[in-house]
Amino acid sequence: MNTLSHPRVREALVFSGLLGLTLLASVFLTVDPVLANSLIDSSDAPSAISGATGGEGDFKTLANRIINFFLQFLGFVSILMVIYAGILYVTSAGNDDSVGKAKKILLYAVIGIVVIFLSYALVNTILGAASGGTTVT
């Protein structure tokens, strides 16, 4: 049997490949703080853009608002999935297929919530470090 066809080996290779691509991207896509501050300046933001972004003229703050909006939306969807899994579990009436499906949905929803919390912390840490150690809100 070929060792590369084993599911665990394939999963490890995919994970290490994705991790390597992430590290490579973080090295090559690092934004120079001077460049980041010059992308959008509050003095040259047109009123339409300023109004659409809640008056934000700073690129880091705008990116933080957009990313946090999507993370909050995904958190809301994850909570809905937890509620759906709970309802499915309660109404399964002992059916093993429904119980298994509910447990699987609950497990993936909880993993999603953990990933969302970690993403939120990572984004705010990176953007905070890029802005000189201050918290971006």
pLDDT at site 107: 92
pLDDT at site 104: 93
pLDDT at site 43: 57
For the chain, which residues score pLDDT lower than 50? none
- For the four alpha carbons of 38, 42, 47 and 49, in that order, the dihedral sign comes to positive
Boundaries of domain holding 43: 32-130
pLDDT at site 25: 63
pLDDT at site 65: 80
Number of domains in the chain: 2
φ and ψ of 93, to 5 deg = 55, 40
Same domain, 65 and 117: yes
pLDDT at site 122: 86
Same domain, 53 and 107: yes
pTM of the model: 0.55
Supply 92's token pair.
């399964």
Same domain, 21 and 36: no
